[in-house]
Structure 1
Amino acid sequence: RDIVARAIAAEIAKQTQDFVSLDISRQPAEFVRQHFPSIHRHCLSQCGLDITRQAIPVRPVQHYTCGGIQTDPSGRTSLPQLYALGETACTGLHGANRLASNSLLECVVTARLAAQTIADGQAFQTEPFQRPSESPYAEADIFSDDLQNTFSRPVLQAFNQRHLGILRNDTDLRRAIAQLRLWKQNQAEPYTASEYENRNLLECSLAVAQAAYARRQNIGAHFNSDC
């Protein structure tokens, strides 16, 4: 999936449209309706597209955060009594590129092993994990005309899609870290629910940018063209 997503993103970058077209109209109409009933129904009712005759506009979706907490096969982390399961965990049971529904199987396996480990009294018998070596991210003051000092949620969404999205590179990541720090520095103390949400979005975005810049190996959903 990550390879397909990068290929789609690269094609979109070559054109003026912000999508590519997926065409299955060469198949008989009854075949399409039988094999893809939900997609056919949704496209027809919500978008007015009959995929038996028309192409579907497609864009890749970014998984900004997934599988970040390193564990052993039993879900144990490097902190005593802290277990991580499912989408939040990095167990390695599905290899580097675990996405979508295979994480449900991982939940079943890891949850059973975690429960058994706790029941057997092995919760405290863990060796600290050796963290992978990370290159320290640079303190960057790299700005360009497209970066804005005025923060808003739509601006942050567009900014993350451009700099922290499917196709990453060191320059964009350094620029993202600098801009996100500036936005965070200029944020007033939050008082409303919306302001707290904005602060959390900035914190998460900065964590993603820093982790992506520190990661010097392309594994699974993470891809940096400079690595």
Structure 2
Amino acid sequence: MNENREHLCDVLVIGSGAAGLSLALRLAPLGKVIVLSKGPRSEGATYYAQGGIAAVFDESDSIESHVQDTQIAGAELCDESVVRFIAENAKDCVQWLIDGGVPFDREESDSDDAPRYHLTREGGHSHRRILHAADATGMAVQNALQENVHNHPNIEVLERHNALDLITHQKLGNTGQPNRVLGAYIWNRNQEVVETVRAKFVVLATGGASKVYQYTSNPDVSSGDGIAMAWRAGCRVANLEFNQFHPTCLFHPEARNFLLTEALRGEGAYLRRPDGSRFMPDFDKRAELAPRDVVARAIDYEMKRLGADCMYLDISHKPADFIQKHFPTIHEKLLTYGIDITSEPIPIVPAAHYTCGGVIVDKEGRTDLDGLYAIGEVSYTGLHGANRMASNSLLECVVYAWAAAESITQALDHVSLPESLPDWDESQVSNSDEEVVIQHNWHELRLFMWDYVGIVRTTKRLERAMRRIQLLQEEVNEYYGNFRVSNNLLELRNLLQVAELIVRCALERKESRGLHYTLDYPNQLDTLQPTILTPDQPC
């Protein structure tokens, strides 16, 4: 790195989860790849994913069935061509993970035949098609990818570095040539300085935006950075009204963000009221195996109807050795909170879990901005429609990492590294002595998003949320213009932008479908189309 703190690479990957690391590994043989990680490289949604990854590995299953299940779970709003594209490429991409050392559970067998993987079933799936590593699949995937990345000389991982903004021709005032991404300004949190990255291609793999809500299963890094940066750079977004609330997160005063995998219900766990009675059969014939939007609304309804703080998830009717074998991580973790899942139910509440919409991309992961790709939860591919089916998220990450890598591979030799870029200008700003302002605005945003833009919505609640977002944006924009950047300021700025986009999408959808449920429009429309927002101009 030279004096003005400039990094050079062929591909800048912003995000270090399954999508980002998979793409980095596929491209590393061709050139220099820099991967940005906001915290430690494992601190992302991938690491905490428990359930597994969906793919057709069983002879009794079929790609057609996987497509149909995804369409049904997505309330028919999925792009069928994309669903089929992902389902058809699922097995090869999962096999790539296996070849890379991911230890998916296998069936016990004495034969020397090819390994048979233990497949579980989760909500919305008509077959057992979920490959998993006990109940810590994400950790197994992340660890294997990290080890392979660590061993590759062409990949540099910059930990504790935030992407601050994308650099484009338009941002620099180069209006005489077609707009293209040239790199990014990044915030080096280790040294608290802004640095510059010049790159031929930039890939957003930043995950979702569930941190916009008060209660979330996601780690702290899920603050919608990629969506906000892409929007500011002129990219369209779609379907951000569809925020998935995971039905079952641990309700405990000492626990933060601990998710209880869908596979618990897939293996027979029941949802119960505080009096011990089951309630899911009253809401859906699929009972506990209904899609997540149905289950989350049912839990929310029962909690509000009864004035209860939580509902309960109960697998204690299964043999203790079965539970300990299939869910060792959950069993051990809950014992630390004084809960023995082999003999008692688990208190649970819904929590924001997954952003089904995002930056619009094509089947190669390309955004509206030349040279910029988006893969994983940050993107809108058309796979999830109005509700993501369990275990399709890690699958989307690895399939689109492959597709984007193929696209970049073909173009890499035809693109030159951008010429020198201007340094970040901090000459007009000062250090802030009012960090409390950011903290207050942060908490206010997350609370009213939970209350007004949560599992059940109304137009009046959405309009109230929008007014508050606009007031906070005015404060934060003034703050951003006068003070040096900080991690909390960057994330709050991005969260406010994404919150605005979520509410705008929600106000545009005049129906209830999938994860978007509004009391003002309880029925579904006959028309099926995504909600697309287009920026007025890049900023």
Indicate the structure whose relative CO is greater, using CA pairs within 8 Å and at least 6 residues apart.
2
Counterpart-to-counterpart distance in 1, 2:405 and 2:443: 42
Q: Does the alignment pair 1:54 with 2:344?
A: yes
Q: Relative to structure 2, which stretch is displaced further, 183-192 or 162-171?
A: 183-192
For 2:461, the equivalent position in structure 1 comes to 172
Q: Following TM superposition, by how much is the alpha carbon of 1:161 offset from its aligned partner in structure 2, in angstroms?
A: 0.9
Relative distance call for 1:114 and 1:28 in structure 2 (3 A) is closer
Q: Following TM superposition, by how much is the alpha carbon of 1:186 offset from its aligned partner in structure 2, in angstroms?
A: 4.5
Q: Does the alignment pair 1:70 with 2:364?
A: no
Cα contact 2:360–2:379 (8 A) shared by 1: yes
- Does the residue aligned with 2:352 lie in a helix, a strand or coil? coil
Q: Following TM superposition, by how much is the alpha carbon of 1:56 offset from its aligned partner in structure 2, in angstroms?
A: 0.4
- Does the residue aligned with 2:495 lie in a helix, a strand or coil? helix
Aligned residue type for 1:30: D
- Does the residue aligned with 1:60 lie in a helix, a strand or coil? strand
For 2:303, the equivalent position in structure 1 comes to 12
Counterpart-to-counterpart distance in 1, 2:361 and 2:475: 36
Cα contact 1:63–1:221 (8 A) shared by 2: no
For 1:23, the equivalent position in structure 2 comes to 314
Cα contact 2:356–2:386 (8 A) shared by 1: no
Matches within 5 A, 1:12-161: 12-45=303-336, 47-63=337-353, 65-93=355-383, 96-98=386-388, 101-120=391-410, 151-161=440-450
Cα deviation code 1:73-116 (max 9, x no counterpart)? 22123333332211112222455533564222223322323333
Counterpart-to-counterpart distance in 1, 2:496 and 2:382: 29
Relative distance call for 1:120 and 1:201 in structure 2 (3 A) is closer
Aligned residue type for 1:87: E
Higher Cα Rg, which structure: 2
Counterpart-to-counterpart distance in 1, 2:381 and 2:366: 9
Counterpart-to-counterpart distance in 2, 1:67 and 1:12: 27
Cα contact 2:458–2:520 (8 A) shared by 1: yes
For 1:137, the equivalent position in structure 2 comes to none
For 1:146, the equivalent position in structure 2 comes to none
For 1:126, the equivalent position in structure 2 comes to none
Counterpart-to-counterpart distance in 2, 1:161 and 1:102: 25
1:189 aligned to 472, 479, 498, which one?
479
- Does the residue aligned with 1:76 lie in a helix, a strand or coil? coil
Counterpart-to-counterpart distance in 1, 2:355 and 2:475: 25
Cα deviation code 1:23-53 (max 9, x no counterpart)? 22222322222222211111111x1111122
Counterpart-to-counterpart distance in 1, 2:383 and 2:493: 34
- Does the residue aligned with 1:14 lie in a helix, a strand or coil? helix
Q: TM-score, normalised by structure 2?
A: 0.33
Counterpart-to-counterpart distance in 1, 2:471 and 2:306: 32
Q: Following TM superposition, by how much is the alpha carbon of 1:14 offset from its aligned partner in structure 2, in angstroms?
A: 1.4
Aligned residue type for 1:207: L
Count of residues paired in the alignment: 199
- Does the residue aligned with 1:83 lie in a helix, a strand or coil? strand
- Does the residue aligned with 1:77 lie in a helix, a strand or coil? coil
Q: Following TM superposition, by how much is the alpha carbon of 1:13 offset from its aligned partner in structure 2, in angstroms?
A: 1.4
Q: Following TM superposition, by how much is the alpha carbon of 1:206 offset from its aligned partner in structure 2, in angstroms?
A: 2.2
Q: Relative to structure 2, which stretch is displaced further, 204-213 or 192-201?
A: 192-201
Cα deviation code 1:140-196 (max 9, x no counterpart)? xxxxxxxxxxx5433332211111112222221111101221233345524363445
> Whose helix fraction is larger, Structure 1's or Structure 2's?
1
Counterpart-to-counterpart distance in 2, 1:166 and 1:6: 7
> Whose strand fraction is larger, Structure 1's or Structure 2's?
2
Aligned residue type for 1:109: V
For 1:203, the equivalent position in structure 2 comes to 497
- Does the residue aligned with 1:72 lie in a helix, a strand or coil? coil
Aligned residue type for 2:313: L
For 2:13, the equivalent position in structure 1 comes to none
Gaps of 5+ in 2: 1-291, 412-439, 522-539
